[in-house]
Amino acid sequence: MSDPLLKVEDLTAGYGAAPVLRDVRFAMSDGQITAVLGANGAGKTTLLRTLSGLVRPTGGRILFDGEPLDGVPPHRLVRRGLVHVPEGRGVIGELTVAENLRLGGVWRRDRAGEARSLAEVLDLFPEIARRRRHAAHQLSGGERQMLALGRALMARPRLLLLDEPSLGLAPRITAQVMALLRQWRDATGLAVLLVEQNVRSALSVADNAAVMSLGRVVVTAPAAQLRDDEDLRHTYLGF
Ligand code: ATP
Helix ranges (H only) for the chain are: 44-51, 74-80, 97-104, 111-124, 126-130, 141-153, 171-188, 199-205, 223-228, 230-232
Residue 1 has pLDDT above 60, yes or no: no
The answer on pLDDT for 232 being more than 90 is: no
pLDDT in tens, 101-143: 999 988 788 888 889 999 989 988 898 999 999 999 999 888 8
Q: Are the C-beta atoms of residues 174 and 11 closer than 8 Å to each other?
A: no
* Percent helix / strand / coil, the chain, rounded to 5: 40, 25, 35
Do 48 and 6 contact (CB within 8 A), yes or no?
A: no
With b meaning 16 or more CB within 10 Å and e meaning fewer, what string describes 151-176? bbbbbbbbbbbbbbbbeebeeebbeb
**How far is ligand 1, taken at its centre, from the CA of residue 43, in Å?**
6
Specify the ligand 1 atom closest to the Cα of 87: 4
Q: Which amino acid is at 14?
A: G
Determine the pLDDT at residue 2: 67
Taken in order 114, 107, 161, 100, the sign of the CA dihedral is negative
Q: Which 8-state DSSP code applies to residue 233?
A: I
- Ligand 1 geometric centre to CA of 41 (Å): 5
CA angle, 140 as apex, 139 and 146 as ends, to 5°? Answer: 80
Q: Give the model's pLDDT for residue 177.
A: 85
* Cα distance between residue 130 and residue 14, in whole Å: 42
- Sheet-wide strand order for 191-195: 82-85, 159-163, 191-195, 33-37, 208-213, 216-222
The alpha carbon of 45 and the centre of ligand 1 are apart by a number of angstroms equal to 7
DSSP annotation of 187: H
Mean pLDDT of the chain: 91
Please give the full DSSP string across 43-85, using - where no structure is assigned: SHHHHHHHHTTSS-EEEEEEEETTEE-TT--HHHHHHHTEEEE
Per-residue pLDDT tens over the stretch 18-49: 899 999 999 999 999 999 999 999 999 999 99
Rg (CA), the chain: 17
Among protein residues, the one whose CA lies closest to atom 31 of ligand 1 = 15
Alpha carbons 160 and 213: distance in angstroms, whole number = 22
Total number of residues shown for the chain: 239
Which of 12, 37, 46 is the best mutation target for the ligand 1 pocket, counting ligand atoms within 8 Å of the beta carbon and taking the most? Answer: 46
**Which residues on neighbouring strands pair with residue 135, listed in sequence order?**
96
User: Which of 102, 85, 223, 96 has its CA nearest to residue 159?
Assistant: 85
Furthest CA-CA distance within the chain: 51
ipTM of the complex: 0.94
Share of the chain above pLDDT 70, in %: 98
Instruction: Say yes or no: CB of residue 2 within 6 Å of ligand 1.
Output: no
Phi, psi of 11, rounded to the nearest 5 degrees: -75, 130
